[in-house]
A and B are shown apart, each in its own frame.
Chain A
Amino acid sequence: MSGFLRIERVTKRFGSVVAVDDATLAIQRGEFFSLLGPSGCGKTTLLRMIGGFEFPDAGDIFVEDQRITDTAPNLRPSNMVFQSYAIFPHLDVFDNIAYGLRRERLAKADLEARVRDALAMIKLEGFGQRRADELSGGQRQRVALARALVCRPKVLLLDEPLGALDKRLRESMQIELRQLQRDVGITFVFVTHDQEEALSMSDRIAVMSAGKILQVASPRVLYEQPNCREVADFIGSINLFDAVVEARDGADALVDAGPVGRLRIQADEPVGKRIILALRPEKVTLSVTAGTVKGTIAAAAYLGERSHYNVAIPGRAEPVSVAAQNAERVAERGHAPGDTVYLSWPAGAVLVLPRD
C-alpha cells in the first residue's frame, strides 16, 4: 500500500473498550482527508495517534515511509489544531504563533516576517499584541491554525476545529479552510461528526463507526454508493427497505420488498439472498396519478427551495421520506397531509446493500 501518510492495522484499547479497531488507511500527499463519524467512533483517537498523543496497541503509522508509531509528538512532522484551540494564555498572539519557531533560532527579522505573514494569511493583521481572552472564538481558531501552519508541517491535523463556531461563521470558515489548504498544499487530516461539513470540504472521507473504518471514498462515491447500511444512513438521509431476492432475470434481480411491492432492480445477488434496498429521498418522485407504490402523505414541510414529505405506505411502520425540489412557482399548496400519492423512481437509483 502506498501513500504519503499510512495507517496500518492500528488498534487502540482503553481498558475493555476498543476505541480504534484494526484501522488501515492510505492518505495521499496534498489531500484534504476527513475522518467522519458519530461521537465515540474513534476518529479523534485515531487523529491523536497520528499526532503522537496516544500510542497504538497494535499496528504502525508511517509518514513518507518513515515509521512514526512510537515517536514523541514533538518529533513528528505533523502539527495539530486542537478542539479547544489551546491558545497559551500567558502569551500574546504574536508569541503564540511564534512559539514553535523559537527553537529554530531564526534571526529576529526572519521570525517577525514569518509571523506577520501568518497573521496576514489568517486575516488578523495588527492582532499581534492581543491576548487569548481578548479574542473571539473564531479568532482563536485562526490563531491556532496559524500557529500550527507557521511551522510548515508535512501533515496538519484538525480536531473538530469548527465545532464551537456558530453556523454562519462555520460555513465561511469551511470555505476559507478549503481554500487555505489548496493554497498551502499541505495534507490535511480533518476530524468531524458533521457529514455536510465533511462532504463539502474533503477530497476523500473515511467513515468510522465503533472503532472501525466502514468506507473510504470521495464524497460523491460515499453518497451515491455507500457500501453498507451504516454509511448510507449516516451520510445524508436515506430510505431503507428490507427485501429478498425471489428470482433472477438475466442481469436483473426480481426482489420482494414487502410493503413496497415486487421490484425489478439491477443487481448481482443470488436467489434467496436477503438484502437492503436504499433509496435517497431526492430520487423519489410524487405523482397523483400513477407510480410504483401507492401511499398517503403523513406530513409535509415546505422549506423554501424544496419540500419534504413523509409518505405512509400500508404495511410499513416507517414513512418514506421524499424530497422534492420546488422547481416551479406554485400558486397553491403542494401535496398536503391526507392526499393520496404514487411514488416512483429511476431503476438505477436503487442501491443494494448487504443485510447481516
Chain B
Amino acid sequence: MAALEGGLGSRLVHAYRRSEAARGLALLSPTMLIMLAALAAPMVLLALYSFWTQSGYALDTNLTLAQYATSIGRANYRALFYRSLEISAIVTVVTVLLAYPMAYFVAFRAGRSKFVWLILLTIPFWTSYLLRVFAWKLILGYNGVINSGLMSLGLIHQPLEFLLYNPTAVIVTLAHAWAAFAILPIYVSLEKIDRSLLEAAADLGDGPVRRFLRITLPLSLPGVIGAAVLIFVPTTGDYVTPTLVGGSSGVMIANVIEEQFDKVGNWPLGAALAVASMAAVGVATLLFVGAVRAAAGRIR
C-alpha cells in the first residue's frame, strides 16, 4: 500500500476504505468466485452438453435438441421421470406429516429438555447417509432383520419377498433417511411464533384446535414449505437408495443418468436427462408451493 503513488491510486484506496459495499464485496469475492467456478459454471456447461451429441469417441458440438427428444420421447425415460417425481412426492408428504407433530412437540411441549431433544434429533441427520440406506437393506432383505426376526418368532414360515427391491422399499428408506431434514426447518418456524399471538387468539374465543388451525399452522407454513422443498428436490435425484433397495422396479432417474456417465459413455444424453429432470422438479415444486400458499391464504 505504501508504494502507491498519490493522486489516482490513493484516491482509489481512499474510496475503497470508505465504501462499505466495496469492502463487503471484497470479503465475499473468494466465496463468490469459487461458487461461480465450481457450481454455476459446471451447471452452465452441463446445460451446454445437453445440446451436443456423442458420436463415437468424439463430441459433436453442434447445437441440437436430439438429447431432449430422446429424454422425453422414450416412454421408459418418461416413466422414470414420473416414477421419480411420484416417489419423491410421497416421501415428502409422508416425511413432513410425520415430522410436524415431532417438531411441534419440541417447540411447544418440551420445556427445559428442548435442547436434549434437539440434539437427539440432530444426531441422525449427521450420520452417514450411505449407512442409513444400507441399514434398511439389512432390515428389509430376504434374510434380513424383519424376515429372520419374524421367522424366529414363528410368525411366518417363509421369508416375505415383497419387502425389498421395489418402489415401496425406496419410499420407506428415503422417508427414514430424510426424516431428520424435515424436523429442523419446521421446528425453527414454530419456535419463532410469538406466544402472545396464541394468547390473543385464545382471548378472542378460539379453543386449542382453532388456535392451531388459524394461527400456528399458517405461521409455521414457511418452515413446512422449506422442509418440503429441502426433501423433494434432492430425493428425486437420489442414486444410492434406488440402487441398494430399489431393485429393477424401483429404478429412479438418477440410475439412468449415472449409467450415461459410467458404462454407456453418452454424456450429452446424461446431461439432457439431468437438466430435464431438474426442470420437471422445478416446475413441480413451484406448482406445489403455489398451491400451498394459495390454500393457506384462505385461512382467516
Measured CB to CB, the residues of A under 8 A from B are 51-53, 72-74, 76, 78-80, 82-84, 86, 88-91, 95, 98-100, 102-103, 144, 147-148, 151
Given contacts A84-B194, A90-B218, contact A74 B300 (CB under 8 A): no
B97: interface (CB < 8 Å): no
Q: Is the CB of B300 within 8 A of A95?
A: yes
Distance A144 CA – B200 CA, assembled complex (angstroms): 9
Distance A148 CA – B205 CA, assembled complex (angstroms): 11
Distance A82 CA – B300 CA, assembled complex (angstroms): 20
Chain A CB count within 10 A is highest, among B199, B203, B206, B219, for B203
B207: interface (CB < 8 Å): yes
Main SS at interface, chain B: helix
Chain B CB count within 10 A is highest, among A53, A88, A147, for A88
Return A161 CB to nearest CB of chain B, in Å. Answer: 13
Return A173 CB to nearest CB of chain B, in Å. Answer: 20
Distance A86 CA – B203 CA, assembled complex (angstroms): 11
Q: Is the CB of A74 within 8 A of B202?
A: yes
Return B225 CB to nearest CB of chain A, in Å. Answer: 14
B contact residues around A88 at 8 Å (CB)? 197, 200-201, 215
Closest to A80 in B: B203
Return A5 CB to nearest CB of chain B, in Å. Answer: 16
Closest to A100 in B: B204
Nearest first, the 5 closest Cβ-Cβ pairs linking A and B are A100-B204, A86-B200, A73-B202, A86-B196, A74-B202
Given contacts A72-B207, A90-B218, A91-B300, contact A99 B202 (CB under 8 A): no
Q: Is the CB of A74 within 8 A of B204?
A: yes
Q: Is the CB of A84 within 8 A of B201?
A: no
Distance A95 CA – B201 CA, assembled complex (angstroms): 12
A contact residues around B210 at 8 Å (CB)? 103
Distance A83 CA – B200 CA, assembled complex (angstroms): 11
- Provide 16 A-B residue pairs closer than 8 Å at the C-beta atoms, listed in order of the A residue: A51-B203, A52-B203, A53-B199, A78-B203, A80-B203, A84-B194, A88-B215, A89-B219, A91-B300, A99-B201, A99-B300, A100-B204, A100-B205, A147-B200, A147-B204, A151-B204
Q: Is the CB of B199 within 8 A of A73?
A: yes
Distance A148 CA – B203 CA, assembled complex (angstroms): 8
Return B38 CB to nearest CB of chain A, in Å. Answer: 38
Q: Is the CB of A74 within 8 A of B194?
A: no
Checking B196, B207, B299 against A84 with a beta-carbon cut-off of 8 angstroms, the contacting residue is: B196
Return A172 CB to nearest CB of chain B, in Å. Answer: 25
Return A131 CB to nearest CB of chain B, in Å. Answer: 13
Q: Is the CB of B196 within 8 A of A82?
A: yes
Distance A89 CA – B200 CA, assembled complex (angstroms): 12
Distance A88 CA – B215 CA, assembled complex (angstroms): 8
A contact residues around B214 at 8 Å (CB)? 99
A contact residues around B196 at 8 Å (CB)? 82-84, 86
Return A64 CB to nearest CB of chain B, in Å. Answer: 18
Return B116 CB to nearest CB of chain A, in Å. Answer: 21
B contact residues around A91 at 8 Å (CB)? 300
Q: Is the CB of A74 within 8 A of B219?
A: no
A contact residues around B218 at 8 Å (CB)? 90
Distance A103 CA – B202 CA, assembled complex (angstroms): 12
Distance A215 CA – B277 CA, assembled complex (angstroms): 75
Closest to B199 in A: A53
Return B209 CB to nearest CB of chain A, in Å. Answer: 11
Q: Is the CB of A52 within 8 A of B205?
A: no
Return B228 CB to nearest CB of chain A, in Å. Answer: 18
Given contacts A53-B199, A88-B197, A98-B300, contact A79 B219 (CB under 8 A): no
Distance A123 CA – B64 CA, assembled complex (angstroms): 65
Checking B205, B207, B219 against A151 with a beta-carbon cut-off of 8 angstroms, the contacting residue is: B205
Distance A100 CA – B204 CA, assembled complex (angstroms): 5
Checking A76, A80, A103 against B200 with a beta-carbon cut-off of 8 angstroms, the contacting residue is: A80
B contact residues around A80 at 8 Å (CB)? 199-200, 203
Distance A98 CA – B204 CA, assembled complex (angstroms): 10
Return A104 CB to nearest CB of chain B, in Å. Answer: 9
Closest to A102 in B: B300
B contact residues around A103 at 8 Å (CB)? 205-206, 210
Chain A CB count within 10 A is highest, among B197, B200, B205, for B200
